[in-house]
Structure 1
Amino acid sequence: MSVAAAYRWVEHAADAPFGSALNPLRHLGSLGFLMLWLLAASGIVLYMLLDTSAQTAYQSIATLSAEAGSAGSALRGLHRYAADGFVLLLVLHLAREWMLGRTSGFRRFSWLTGVPLLPLAFICAIGGFWLHWDQLGQYSATATAEWFDALPFLSTPL
């Protein structure tokens, strides 16, 4: 059984509980687009509320989410999970379209313009970790610097 046939079997099996019109596996691109809009809207509001300078970004985020259950914490949570959902749905949608052979013909332009946006989405996701600068942010900054140090065309380590 090929990968595409296995995926189609899983997709058809998911039709039973959801129905074909509401099956989330058939709407990965639309769900990803919804996550992108949630991400953009929450990001704009966060940008208006936060100070993003290098000196005060951490304190600004700490102040915004100081109270447990506050609107600031909820907004940050929405933004974070929308970002995670966007990246996950982007990868799943990309894999689905590739497995089903939807990379040629009239879809070629969409494929050739959409695939290069994948690294940009990952860069933006890593940048979000860095802004918070907690243990995960520091780890991702260190790991990213180590990856760049492994590239032969960079002469000095970061």
Structure 2
Amino acid sequence: MLERVRDWLQERRQKLDLFDETLVARQDNPLYLMGPMLYYFWLVTVVTGVILMLWYEPTTTGAYTSIERIQNDIGRLALTFLGRPVTLGGLTRGLHKYGADALITITFLRIYRMYFLAEYKKPGELSWMLAFLGLILGMVSGITGYLLIWNQRAFWAAKVVLTVPVYFDELPLIGPLKFGSMIAFLFLGGPAVGQATITRFYALHFGISLVLLILVEVFFQRTRRKRINMSLFPLALFMVMLVVISIILPAESGRRADPTKTPLPILSDWYFLALYQYVKYTPPLWAGLGPGLLIGFGLIVPFLDRSKGRRPLERPFFTVVGALAVIYFLAFTALILFNIAVIERDPFLIMNITLVVLALGLFWELQYRRRRRQAAAAGISPPARAPAHG
């Protein structure tokens, strides 16, 4: 058994793609520039984050003030935009914020590409699992960094996110162990969001990137692969775009955190908004179970999809599941952003629509497989499949 696992890992490691580095031949297609872009924006985020650490104060009393000082006072330039002074500190913070947004966006798009093109199939299982874990860790790093601003929006967003693990206590079997409460306490450091929380989030925000960067560099040193398979021009163009956006739309600080005043609606960074709406819709049991099932499905989907095809229409059920995930992500984000959800009505409609669509997807899958079997029995060759990953 152990030998089979070792052989499996050895075979997948040879085709392992952290940033699409084995897919250089496909990079005339913009879809396969996502890997190098991911690494590039990650480096921008890490470097600017280290610079910001020089002036940031990770305390409940000093965090917001230090952010304001970085934004408005550090490295003043002889330049204004719409009456606002442009500072090197503000530019660095803008590069960090928008670089992180670009990082998460590219990670999402790359996950969707890998899913809909079935790049998770042999021998891409390990690449998919690491990419999916990278998305989860990126989102965790994002929410930990978000709290460090210590403004109203960040404070209450973190409070909502940290209630999600507690819902795991509603699950049978593991619920009595209070596993969810222990996770929440591990992040909170106490009964409520406070100094211990900001200390933990500060350490996690930096630690996640540091550990991942070390592991990635060890991988590249061993494989001797090129990290960024892109020319200098697009890299310079991306940097110019980040700088321009940072000047035109400087990173906001908002209002200082006030635990006594709850903002409505409670909003976080864009990639958590759908989760917030989901939590509002569901009872405590499903509020904890749903995200866990989604993460579990994402990690094991290479082993669930046993179809031989790679095109979306050759695996109808999984295509429908992926399309539903995209639609719900966008719809839930819009619902909470515009505060137009009807809590009493929407969950029932969403559940029924989901069940009907999944049933249709399953029926489509069964019909497709039946036609394939009939074609094989009649001696009709199926259309050529897309080339395997790598």
Q: Which TM-score band applies after superposition, normalised by the shorter structure?
A: 0.7 to 0.9
Q: How far apart in 2 are the matches of 1:38 and 1:83?
A: 8
Q: How far apart in 2 are the matches of 1:139 and 1:25?
A: 36
TM value normalised by structure 2: 0.33
Aligned to 2:149, which of 110, 119, 132?
132
Letter paired with 1:39: T
What residue is the counterpart of 1:115 in the other structure? 132
Q: How far apart in 2 are the matches of 1:25 and 1:105?
A: 20
Q: How far apart in 2 are the matches of 1:91 and 1:64?
A: 30
Letter paired with 2:33: H
TM superposition shift of 1:102? 0.6
Q: CA RMSD in A?
A: 2.2
Q: How far apart in 2 are the matches of 1:127 and 1:111?
A: 24
What residue is the counterpart of 1:51 in the other structure? 57
Residue pairs, 1:2-151, within 5 angstroms: 21=28, 24-67=30-73, 68-151=85-168
Q: Is the 8 Å Cα contact of residues 129 and 136 (structure 1) preserved in structure 2?
A: no
Identity, in percent, stands at 24
Q: How many residues are matched?
A: 138
Unaligned runs of 5+ in 1: 1-19
**1:27-66 deviation digits (Å, cap 9, x = unpaired):** 1222111110111111111112323344422221121112
80-89 or 145-154, which deviates more: 145-154
TM superposition shift of 1:26? 3.3
What residue is the counterpart of 1:14 in the other structure? none
Q: Is the 8 Å Cα contact of residues 72 and 86 (structure 2) preserved in structure 1?
A: no
Q: Is the 8 Å Cα contact of residues 130 and 137 (structure 1) preserved in structure 2?
A: yes
What is the DSSP-based 3-state SS (H/G/I as helix, E as strand, rest coil) of the residue aligned with 1:105? coil
Q: How far apart in 1 are the matches of 2:45 and 2:135?
A: 16
Q: Is the 8 Å Cα contact of residues 38 and 79 (structure 1) preserved in structure 2?
A: yes
TM superposition shift of 1:93? 0.1
What is the DSSP-based 3-state SS (H/G/I as helix, E as strand, rest coil) of the residue aligned with 1:151? helix
What residue is the counterpart of 1:10 in the other structure? none
Letter paired with 2:147: W
TM value normalised by structure 1: 0.76
Q: How far apart in 2 are the matches of 1:147 and 1:75?
A: 32
TM superposition shift of 1:155? 4.9
Q: Is the 8 Å Cα contact of residues 50 and 57 (structure 1) preserved in structure 2?
A: yes
| Cα distance change on mapping 1:26 and 1:116 into 2, 3 Å | closer
TM superposition shift of 1:134? 1.5
**1:75-128 deviation digits (Å, cap 9, x = unpaired):** 101100011110111011011011101113232222222322222111110011
Letter paired with 1:90: T
User: Which entry has the higher C-alpha Rg, 1 or 2?
Assistant: 2
Q: Is the 8 Å Cα contact of residues 165 and 181 (structure 2) preserved in structure 1?
A: no
Q: How far apart in 1 are the matches of 2:154 and 2:118?
A: 37
Q: How far apart in 2 are the matches of 1:108 and 1:37?
A: 25
